[in-house]
Amino acid sequence: MAAPARRFRKTDELLRRRMPNPNKVVRQRETFGERVADSVAKFGGSWSFIFSFAGVLLSWIAVNAILLRNVGNGPFDPYPFILLNLFLSMLAAIQAPVIMMSQNRQDAKDRIRSELDYQVNLKAELEIMQLHEKFDRLQQELLEREAGRPGR
């Protein structure tokens, strides 16, 4: 008898509980570092980053290949732009783990959302079952009333 009572209590608790907003749950669990990783990954995957980065690369090449060629000591990073290559490698070395952290965070967010979706679906299923039982009871009562009427 203890198992059905526990099950009934758990069902009743689930039906009474209001399901939280998954976005709020995710935001409450985020740390500062996770928010920074998400922001960096969001900016690094945007068109504004691509265009600004292309502008920096073209400017670097133009300054070193054209403007500084005939001035003073010459270009600070002559062709084949070894210093630029170093900076690009360092950027990739930093950006790749940040993007991976952000992807892991997105996976965690998806797991939280799917768990909350499951709870909402379970709650809806339980409510439908209760409505079905009420409907069956009402139908049975109507049939009993009809059977008890004289002349039928």
Look at residue 83 and tell me if it is in a domain: yes
More confident residue, 69 or 31: 31
Look at residue 20 and tell me if it is in a domain: no
Look at residue 77 and tell me if it is in a domain: yes
Residue 87, pLDDT > 60, answer yes
Over residues 90-115, mean pLDDT: 90
pLDDT of residue 23: 73
Is the Cβ–Cβ distance between 43 and 22 less than 8 Å? no
Is the Cβ–Cβ distance between 132 and 70 less than 8 Å? no
State which residues form the domain around 128.
31-148
Look at residue 113 and tell me if it is in a domain: yes
Look at residue 126 and tell me if it is in a domain: yes
More confident residue, 124 or 7: 124
Domain count, the chain: 1
State how far the alpha carbon of 126 is from the alpha carbons of 119, 129, 136, in Å. Answer: 10, 5, 15
Residue 96, pLDDT > 60, answer yes
Look at residue 91 and tell me if it is in a domain: yes
Task: pLDDT band for 108, please (50, 70, 90 cuts).
Answer: confident
Least confident of 2-16, 59-73, 98-112, 125-139: 2-16
Look at residue 98 and tell me if it is in a domain: yes
Rounded Cα distance, 110 and 117, in Å: 10
- What mean pLDDT value characterizes the chain? 85
Residue 152, pLDDT > 60, answer no
Look at residue 43 and tell me if it is in a domain: yes
* pLDDT tens digits for range 45-67: 899 999 999 999 999 998 888 88
Per DSSP, 149 falls in state: S
The structure's pTM equals: 0.60
Rounded Cα distance, 141 and 152, in Å: 16
Over residues 8-28, mean pLDDT: 72
Is the Cβ–Cβ distance between 64 and 78 less than 8 Å? yes
Residue 1, pLDDT > 60, answer no
